[in-house]
Amino acid sequence: MTIILDELDRRIIGVLQVDGRASFKSVAQILHLPERTVSRRGQELLADGTIQITGLTENDALVKKETIVVRVECAPGTNRLVATALSALKESIFVYLTSGSNICITELFSSRRRLTDLTLNLVPGIPGVLGVTSYQCLKYHRTAAQWNPGILSPSERSQLMDTRPVVSHDHIELDREDKIILETLALNGRASFDQLARTCGLSEATARRRTTKLIEAGALSIHAVVEPSDIGFPIESWIWIQTSPENVSNTIENLLSDNRIRYLAAISGEYQLLAQIALGTNSELNDFLYEKQNWSNQVTKIESLLMMEAFKRSGLQVLRKN
């Protein structure tokens, strides 16, 4: 059954995108709506899989872990088989099928040794894979967890941001209990501290303290995973951007001023930046790519691929709706 989201649904999702663990009482207070109504609608959105709450491991904060984006060229007719295999990898964060020459895009997060094995052996060995090109992620400037689609008013978003812990972005190394907490929250970002404690064999107070430490270090963010099309952004495109080194900072600044940018990373290779944009229409995409824009003033080359189907987002398998 196709789910039609109304304004209330989208605004509840907007709050959970900022704070995936916000109680429905808090959501109701932010939106100035009855708690019973918000709770009922919020539970329905979670139950039918329209939104999933995940604890996303923030790669930049962790030592001994790296991220690469991999473009995989597939043989005709094998795209979905390859995407399914990639989405089954625990190291894959997102997996998308795109327009163009049977291209699948995935982001992989692991140790350098494991990433080398994945790109040189495992991914090329998937039946249907014809070629692999990898790009090292050098720095994240925006991730899906940080995307502000403009659903909430600035004052509503500010209220939420004010309640979030101050993030130090200290680099940390995970111990066994930290890893279990991250794995548990990756599957259910709204798991209670009691559930975390029982899973890890810790006291509830210790589970709460460790989770807070991960969030404050910037190693963990908890947010809602939603199909952009469900909240009014059915057009997604990946854009590889080439510019001279002295113009990279200015290009980044101009791109980040646009809330339609869901993802922006500095990468290695022929291109300096990789962006993902979500828009309402193909006409908007045409204007963004080919009409004069501040971000493109100093760009020498772009390559864009239209996203056709998502298999994995933020480490979670995309639930198929009938």
What is the rounded end-to-end Cα distance, in angstroms, of the chain?
5
In SS3 terms, 57-77 reads as ECHHHECCCEEEEEEEEECCC
How does pLDDT run across 8-38, given as a tens digit for each residue? 999 999 999 988 889 999 999 999 999 999 9
Question: Are 186 and 208 in a shared domain?
Answer: yes
What's the pTM? Answer: 0.86
In a domain, 241, yes or no: yes
Q: Which helix (H) or strand (E) holds 212?
A: helix 204-216
Percent of the chain residues past pLDDT 90, beyond the cut: 67
Question: Are 248 and 283 in a shared domain?
Answer: yes
Question: Looking at the predicted structure, is the pLDDT value of residue 126 above 60?
Answer: yes
How does pLDDT run across 45-96, given as a tens digit for each residue? 999 889 999 987 765 555 567 899 999 999 999 999 999 999 999 999 999 9
CA 12 to chain centre: 18
| Number of domains the chain is built from | 3
In a domain, 184, yes or no: yes
In a domain, 256, yes or no: yes
CA dist 226 and 53 (Å) reads 9
In a domain, 207, yes or no: yes
Under DSSP, the state recorded for 188 is -
Range of the domain at 120: 60-139
In a domain, 7, yes or no: no
- Please count the residues of the chain: 322
Domain with residue 196: its CATH number is: 1.10.10.10
Question: Looking at the predicted structure, is the pLDDT value of residue 4 above 70?
Answer: no
In a domain, 278, yes or no: yes
Question: Are 66 and 111 in a shared domain?
Answer: yes
How does pLDDT run across 234-279, given as a tens digit for each residue? 999 999 999 999 999 999 999 999 989 999 999 999 999 999 999 9
Domain termination residue (choose one: 186, 216, 246): 216
Domain termination residue (choose one: 216, 248, 272): 216
How does pLDDT run across 286-314, given as a tens digit for each residue? 999 998 888 998 899 999 999 999 999 99
